[in-house]
Structure 1
Amino acid sequence: MSIKSLAAKVFAATIDKKTKKWASDPVGSQDKVFKYLLKTAGNTAFAKAHSFSSIKTHHDFIDQVPVRDYEQLRPFVDRVVAGEEDILWPGKPLYFAKTSGTTSGAKYIPITKESMPEHVKAARNAILSYIHETGNSKFVDGKMIFLQGSPDMETKNGIQLGRLSGIVAHYVPNYLQKNRLPSMKTNCIDDWETKVEAVIDETLPEKMSVISGIPSWVQMYFERIVQRTGKKVGEVFPDFNLFIYGGVNFEPYRAKFDQLIGRKVDSIELFPASEGFFAYQDKQNEKGMLLLLDAGIFYEFIPADKFYDKNPPRLTIGEVEIGVNYVLIISTTAGLWAYNIGDTVAFTSTKPYRVVVTGRIKHYISASGEHVIGKEVEEAMKAASQELDVVINEFTVAPQLSPLEGALPYHEWFVEFGEINTDLKKLEASLDLQMRKQNSYYDDLITGKILQPLKITSVPENGFKQYMKTIGKLGGQNKLPRLSNDRKIAEVLEKIISDS
């Protein structure tokens, strides 16, 4: 065992003790964060506008600080972007994480000297947690690749801005620098397809042990390796034994990854975002990710089915229940206050508190009142594809409300298959049955003949890649919505299908 590998085990044991300490007192941990946030930001423009000095309890906070999304918080953010100090958090941010907006165009999420270390610490602790649980630390001696956005930075009114993954690339610890790939030159390539080829050039000769990134884009990297070498990824990289991912649910990709790799590898799921690093998988055989309650983030949870009520309940960590779908609301050391990041979560455990990401509050199908969410379509696809031994590359779902004359509306599943010998009718039947088990509203609509059973439209190979390229979101941190309540994605896919 190398010195680095042994040191990693010792450090992992230390971190595990610290983690158990705050996790054993979840309410107390969150109360400390809540008080720290209010006290530290007390002289900011936002604090004065919301009378922070009179906030003593969470109920006071609810009364004085409404839930906001980016557009609603934007008047304050715009002042920060313009270079003003002490607006949302003391001083100025270190960075802006630039993300894609909707009505607002580009969004600028502040990252401060207090919040940046939490991103780095959480990523580090996720790996140390794995080492402590499994005893496997030999991978620290191999090469590690992190498929991420370009680390090139711009400057806006004296503050650097870039993609979160690119910003984080500047914080790789010194003890990992020699192990880290790709090179800075390759990482700065903007065009994703060109970048992947350059990454392959650099990694093929190396002893890769850890590969990390959003599953859809790692899949593209793996597919190109197989095409180039004619070998499975696990054969090309015999030391590869740990996959680290985040951003989307891995389950729909798992069968395809097993096929591309040729063997099983351990994995660690992360829940990072520009707004904060919220959770990581702390146990290999437990469902859910450990919610980070001492990381400068105060959490509130609104039941998703009550989110659009006039005064929905805003629950704290001690009030949540297992299995309920919640909209995640955060207040952070980056100066985001009662901020709706758009993600929905459900708790799988309360001792300690673990969550799974169930989708996005704006990503759903309810054109006929069915209230279908991302977690349900992913669970249905997982069950149906396993039952029929089908390999799926990618999929998304949209309502079809205007079918051929006289036909009932239905859910249209656009699916790119890893194999072309799939019996679509069998898969449609299995998927529909699984969806009826997942969602009682959907079952009622099928039974009541308001909807007809779902239909599958086969997408040609690389069709989703072409879709993402068409909308200018190929690679990096960009993710395909698993479902939508309109046919904007469907219309682009239909054109790609007709042109193929």
Structure 2
Amino acid sequence: MGVKALLSKLLAAYVHKKHQSWIEHPVEAQEAVFQNIVKQAQHTKFGRDHGFASIKTHADFVKAVPVRDYEGLASYFNLVKQGQKDVVWPGKPLYLAKTSGTTSGTKYIPITKDSIPNHINGARDALLAYVHETGKSAFLDGKLIFLSGSPELEEVGGTKTGRLSGIANHHVPGYLRTNQLPSYQTNCIEDWETKLDQIIEETLDEDMTLISGIPPWVQMYFDKLIRQTGKPIKDIFPNFGLFVYGGVNFEPYRKKLFESIGRQVDSIELFPASEGFFAFQDKQNDPGLLLLLNSGIFYEFIPTDEFFSENPTRLTIGQVEPGVNYALVVSSNAGLWSYSIGDTVKFTSVKPYKLIVSGRIKHYISAFGEHVIGEEVEKAMKHAMQQFPEVELTEFTVAPFVSQNEGASYHEWLVEFAHPPINTDAFAAELDKQLRKYNSYYDDLISGNILQKLKLSALPKGAFQEYMKSQGKLGGQNKVPRLSNDRKLAEGLLGITN
């Protein structure tokens, strides 16, 4: 065992013990974060505008600070972009994390001196939790690959700006620098296909032990390696034992990914975002992600069925219940205030507080009042694949088709199979059956002949890759939306394949 592997066990034990203090006192930990960030920000422009000096309780905060998304806070973020100080947090941010927006175009999320440890320590502690639980640390002596965006940074208003994964690349601990792949120069390549070829060249003959990235892009890396060598990943990297991922639900990709590897490996799910590092999987046999309650972020939770109401209920950590879908709202030492990040979560445990990411608050289909969410379509796909074990999935998305003729509308599932079902019609029927089970509104619409049963459109191999490339979103941290409430993505995919 190498020095890094040995020392990591000591550090893992120390960090585990440190985490127990806030895990055992979650409400107190969140109250301390709340009081601290409100006090620190009371003299900022945002703090003065919202009367932070008079805020003593969460109830005061709710009255003073409405829930807003990026667009709702854009007037403040624009001042930050212009280089003004003391806007949403004391001083100027260290970085602006650039990420894709919706109506706002590109978003610039501040990362401050106080918030950068949340991003860096969150990822570190996820690995240390794995070491502490399993006793496995030898992977730290091998090569570690992090498929990420470019670490090259530009300046906006005098602040360094880039993708979160590129910013994080500058903060990889020194003791891991010698293990890290790909090289800085390769990470700077913008074109994903060119970058992927170079990554393969740099990693093919190395002892890769940990691979991290968004599952569909890791799958592309594996596919190219297998085509080039004719071998499964387990034979190319015999010591590869840990897969780290986040950003999308792993289940639709799991079967194909492990078939590409050729054996099971351990995995860790993370919940990172430009707005903060929120949670990580701390137990191999538990899919729930441990919510970080002592990391500079104060959380509020809005029941999803209230989210679009005028005065939604805003719960704190001690008020949430398992099994309920909540929209996640954060305030933090990055200068985010009652900021809706767009994700929905569902708690699997409250002792300790663990959750899963159940979808996106804006990614749903409700063209007919059914309000189908991401969690439901992913569960339907998972159970349909269990009934058709030959099926392997590359990617899929779902969109409504609204017909002018009564009873002729439907949901269209656009699916790219790695291995298609033997009977596509039977597979589509099973998908429809499962979705009706998970969403009673959808079931009512089918039963009432308002909707036809879903239509499955099998796309040729490479369709999603070609579409993402056409949009300039191939690779990196870009994700295909699982659901749309319009036909834009669906028509784009169908246009690529025609």
Q: TM-score, normalization: structure 2?
A: 0.98
State the one-letter code of the partner of 1:408: A
Q: Deviations over 1:295-339 (max 9, x none)?
A: 000000000111111111000000111111111000010100000
2:407–2:451 Cα contact (<8 Å) kept: no
Q: Deviations over 1:448-470 (max 9, x none)?
A: 22111111100110100011111
State the one-letter code of the partner of 1:243: F
Partner residue of 2:11? 11
Partner residue of 1:336? 336
Deviation at 1:442, TM superposition (A): 1.1
Partner residue of 2:262? 262
Deviation at 1:217, TM superposition (A): 0.7
Deviation at 1:3, TM superposition (A): 2.2
Deviation at 1:234, TM superposition (A): 1.4
SS of the equivalent of 2:287 reads coil
Partner residue of 2:230? 230
Deviation at 1:103, TM superposition (A): 2.2
Q: Deviations over 1:74-114 (max 9, x none)?
A: 11111111111011000000000011122222111000000
Deviates more, 1:418-427 or 1:344-353: 418-427
Deviation at 1:496, TM superposition (A): 1.8
Partner residue of 2:349? 349
Partner residue of 2:210? 210
State the one-letter code of the partner of 2:327: V
Partner residue of 1:242? 242
Q: Deviations over 1:264-303 (max 9, x none)?
A: 1110000000010000001111121000000000000000
SS of the equivalent of 1:289 reads strand
2:407–2:450 Cα contact (<8 Å) kept: no
Q: Deviations over 1:170-218 (max 9, x none)?
A: 0110110111000001000000000001000000010000000011111
Partner residue of 2:143? 143
2:388–2:427 Cα contact (<8 Å) kept: yes
Q: Structure 1: how far apart are the matches of 2:44 and 2:173?
A: 33
State the one-letter code of the partner of 2:402: L
Partner residue of 2:397? 396
Partner residue of 2:363? 363
State the one-letter code of the partner of 2:392: V
The answer to whether residue 86 in structure 2 is matched with residue 86 in structure 1 is: yes
Partner residue of 1:173? 173
SS of the equivalent of 1:281 reads strand
Deviation at 1:400, TM superposition (A): 1.1
The answer to whether residue 57 in structure 2 is matched with residue 57 in structure 1 is: yes
Deviation at 1:408, TM superposition (A): 2.2
Q: Structure 2: how far apart are the matches of 1:8 and 1:171?
A: 18
Deviation at 1:421, TM superposition (A): 5.3
The answer to whether residue 450 in structure 2 is matched with residue 475 in structure 1 is: no
Partner residue of 1:451? 451
Q: How many equivalent pairs are there?
A: 497
State the one-letter code of the partner of 2:378: E
Deviation at 1:407, TM superposition (A): 5.2
SS of the equivalent of 2:125 reads helix
Q: Structure 2: how far apart are the matches of 1:145 and 1:366?
A: 40
Q: After the TM superposition, which residues 270-419 of structure 1 pair with which residues of structure 2 at under 5 Å, given as runs?
A: 270-389=270-389, 390-402=391-403, 408-419=408-419
The answer to whether residue 196 in structure 2 is matched with residue 199 in structure 1 is: no
The answer to whether residue 447 in structure 2 is matched with residue 436 in structure 1 is: no
Deviates more, 1:103-112 or 1:262-271: 103-112
SS of the equivalent of 1:287 reads strand
SS of the equivalent of 1:80 reads helix
Deviation at 1:21, TM superposition (A): 1.4
Identity of aligned residues (%): 60
Q: Structure 1: how far apart are the matches of 2:399 and 2:269?
A: 27
**Which ranges in structure 2 are unaligned for 5 or more consecutive residues?**
none
2:80–2:87 Cα contact (<8 Å) kept: yes
Q: After the TM superposition, which residues 108-187 of structure 1 pair with which residues of structure 2 at under 5 Å, given as runs?
A: 108-187=108-187
Deviation at 1:410, TM superposition (A): 1.1
Q: Structure 2: how far apart are the matches of 1:276 and 1:197?
A: 31
**Which ranges in structure 1 are unaligned for 5 or more consecutive residues?**
none
SS of the equivalent of 2:283 reads coil
Q: Structure 1: how far apart are the matches of 2:448 and 2:275?
A: 43
Partner residue of 1:48? 48
Runs of 4+ residues over 6 Å off in structure 1: none
**Structure 1 vs Structure 2 CA RMSD:** 1.0
Q: Structure 2: how far apart are the matches of 1:55 and 1:421?
A: 58
